[in-house]
């Protein structure tokens, strides 16, 4: 039996420009930590090899330090690592891979297939057919040669490719690079390890996307895994076991808040999250002053507890009741300003923020007056 891990889309060097730097830096660091967990898992599970189906790096221009850190992260597993370039790190004439070789970063047990071909590992009974990308986009199926490529008799035939299985994935996949949906059958493969789709996905009995080991977007397509693949003999069906390795969990939620109970339910949702969680939260609705103040407290607590909170509350309005306005005792000029802001806040973020600030200041003035009385 031959056992290996299938992983892909490490995207080392990815930048998180939409995030505040204090969140972007840990999210980038998490990608190195995910690779370290994969190496530790490979050692723990006693696998024969680790296959990486492209996009090891997010760009061709990562620094020398980043290159060295990535290959150092492989150290825990001394067996063979088999890597192919993907669309983000294609094996151009001058590429991240040529730079890595020039810096002498690549360890002896890391086998980078910079050109389409076969790498034979007779000692573990494995022949890897690699459809390496030598340019970012291609309109031809680079796995086509698998059909006629001969491998030594008795060895398992495993394909390694990066691209889009035609007709089975959503339109927003990373690259155009097409792959025939029946390639495993046509090429007599025991297993076809794919990269490019960032979620874990089974195409057929012998064809899988592992997905990225560390989530990097708000999509519920099961990212954050590596696949353990057991092959008992040529022609036998593979046994595939997912392992969760992600350091962070990414969530996207939209909530409409109109009643105090809605705010309480949002508080329960936020309380269930912790420092591993990245949350994109869109809020809409109308809240009175007390509910709005409760919401601000909950959001402040969440921002301090979560890894990151991306907040969109453009459609959320502060709607003081007549009792709220009367209790604020905003007469004269302040009353006129308060009324103007209440009227203008819809579609005007500055007016909404100003209304919240003014209401808060008036509430604080009330409390101060009460303490002096």
Other Cβ atoms within 10 Å of 21 Cβ, number = 9
Which pLDDT value is given to residue 363?
A: 57
Which pLDDT value is given to residue 219?
A: 87
* Nearest-angstrom CA–CA distance, 351 and 338: 10
Do residues 194 and 238 touch, judged by C-beta distance below 8 A? no
Domains of the chain as residue ranges with CATH: 2-244 (3.60.21.10), 249-372 (no CATH)
pLDDT in tens, 140-176: 999 999 999 999 999 999 999 999 998 776 555 545 8
Q: Which residues contact 51 (CB under 8 A, 6 or more apart)?
A: 4, 5, 6, 7, 82, 128, 158, 160, 193
Which segments in the chain show pLDDT lower than 70? 169-175, 321-339, 341-343, 345-349, 351-373
Which pLDDT value is given to residue 29?
A: 97
* Nearest-angstrom CA–CA distance, 171 and 39: 32
pTM attached to this predicted model: 0.86
Do residues 96 and 131 touch, judged by C-beta distance below 8 A? no
Helix (H) / strand (E) element for 164: namely strand 164-165
Do residues 20 and 198 touch, judged by C-beta distance below 8 A? no
Return the structure tokens found at 362.
């008036």
């Amino acid at each position: 039996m031959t056992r290996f891990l299938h992983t892909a889309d490490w995207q080392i060097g990815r930048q998180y420009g939409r995030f505040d730097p204090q969140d972007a830096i840990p999210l980038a660091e998490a990608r190195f930590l995910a690779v370290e967990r994969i190496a530790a898992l490979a050692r723990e599970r006693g696998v024969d090899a680790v296959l990486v189906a492209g996009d090891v790096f997010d760009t061709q221009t990562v620094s020398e330090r980043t290159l060295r850190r990535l290959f150092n992260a492989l150290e825990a597993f001394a067996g063979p690592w088999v890597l192919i370039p993907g669309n983000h790190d294609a094996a151009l004439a001058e590429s991240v891979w040529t730079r890595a070789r020039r810096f002498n970063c690549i360890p002896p047990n890391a086998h980078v297939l910079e050109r389409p071909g076969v790498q034979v590992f007779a000692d573990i009974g494995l022949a890897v057919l690699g459809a390496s990308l030598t340019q970012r986009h291609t309109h031809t199926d680079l796995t086509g040669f698998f059909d006629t490529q001969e491998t030594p008799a008795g060895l398992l035939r495993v394909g390694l490719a990066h691209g889009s299985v035609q007709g089975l994935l959503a339109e927003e996949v990373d690259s155009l690079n097409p792959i025939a949906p029946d390639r495993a059958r046509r090429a007599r493969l025991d297993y076809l390890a794919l990269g490019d789709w960032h979620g874990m996905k089974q195409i057929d009995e012998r064809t899988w996307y592992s997905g990225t080991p560390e989530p990097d977007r708000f999509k519920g397509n099961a990212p954050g895994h590596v696949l353990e693949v057991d092959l008992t003999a040529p022609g036998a069906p593979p046994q595939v076991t997912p392992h969760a390795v992600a350091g962070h969990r990414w969530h996207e939620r939209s909530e409409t808040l109109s009643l105090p109970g809605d705010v309480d339910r949002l508080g329960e949702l936020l309380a269930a999250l912790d420092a591993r969680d990245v949350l994109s939260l869109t809020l809409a609705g109308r809240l009175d002053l007390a509910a709005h103040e409760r919401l601000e407290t909950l959001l402040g607590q969440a921002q301090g507890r979560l890894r990151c909170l991306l907040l969109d509350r453009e459609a959320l309005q502060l709607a003081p009741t007549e009792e709220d306005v009367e209790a604020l005792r905003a007469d004269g000029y302040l009353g006129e300003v308060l009324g103007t802001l209440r009227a203008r806040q819809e579609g005007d973020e500055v007016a909404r923020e100003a209304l919240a600030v003014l209401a808060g200041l008036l509430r604080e003035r009330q409390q101060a007056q009460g303490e002096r009385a």
